[in-house]
């Protein structure tokens, strides 16, 4: 369910009046098959009991594949209605689908917390414009690893996967804090790396 009960600007104004620090959005981006959802899930399992951390469920106009994705679904019509009602902190489009991060993410960050979300490289300009403090974690993997993971999903044939891997990534300007993680190996290794980054950023939240 989308949280539209609080205006993030109200939380920001209260914190500024009290002189309290704001939090940070950690947005995880990278190519399909890099393992972004798996890494976020790894960290969420270890920090679930700490209310300082909010693991944002993004909204997508495609039903989630429980094996590889973790998001909430809205039809295109419901997504458009939610957008007009102010349910999203930021929205973007990719490959004919609509994506959004709920307003609750901005509320949490402006209240001094740390929010972790699966984002998009192409949407980074909009995300950076919507949150005052953002750390970008760019997850990558070797091409053969990406190809194997994409094939395991069963959504695309070999030709489509090869075309996807040949596609140039979006031209992303590395504004703000940019952190690289190679997730070609064991999930536990990359997961511990991301966990350490999240904990470190929570201590450095402005």
pLDDT mean for each 10 residues of the chain (206 residues): 37 45 89 92 95 94 73 94 97 93 96 95 92 94 88 74 65 72 96 96 72
What single string gives the DSSP state of each residue in 71-113? Answer: -EE--HHHHHHHHHTT-EEEEEEETTEEEEEEHHHHHHHHTT-
DSSP code for 132: S
pLDDT on residue 40: 96
pLDDT on residue 158: 76
Q: What is the CATH number of the domain that holds 118?
A: 3.40.50.300
pLDDT on residue 76: 96
- Of 8, 14, 30, 22, give the one whose Cα is nearest residue 180: 30
Task: Count structural domains, the chain.
Answer: 1
Inside any domain, residue 188: yes
Inside any domain, residue 155: yes
Inside any domain, residue 8: no
Full residue range of the structural domain in which residue 121 is found: 22-56+103-204
Inside any domain, residue 9: no
Inside any domain, residue 86: no
């Amino acid at each position: 369910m989308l949280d539209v009960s609080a205006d993030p600007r109200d939380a920001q104004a209260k914190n500024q009046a009290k002189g309290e620090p704001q939090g940070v959005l950690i947005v995880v981006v990278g190519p399909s098959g890099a393992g972004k959802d798996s890494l976020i899930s790894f960290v969420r399992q270890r920090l679930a009991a700490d209310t300082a951390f909010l693991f944002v469920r993004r909204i997508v106009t495609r039903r989630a594949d429980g094996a590889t994705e973790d998001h909430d679904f809205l039809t295109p019509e419901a997504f458009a209605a939610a957008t007009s009602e102010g349910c999203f902190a930021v929205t973007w489009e990719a490959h004919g689908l609509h994506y959004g991060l709920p307003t609750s993410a901005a509320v949490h960050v402006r209240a001094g917390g740390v929010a972790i979300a699966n984002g998009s490289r192409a949407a980074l300009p909009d995300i950076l414009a919507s949150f005052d403090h953002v750390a970008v974690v760019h997850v990558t993997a070797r091409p053969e690893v990406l190809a194997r993971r994409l094939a395991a999903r069963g959504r695309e044939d070999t030709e489509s996967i090869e075309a996807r891997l040949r596609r140039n990534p979006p031209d992303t300007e590395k504004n703000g804090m940019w952190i690289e993680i190679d997730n070609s190996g064991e999930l536990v290794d990359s997961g511990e790396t991301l966990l350490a980054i999240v904990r470190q950023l929570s201590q450095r939240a402005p």
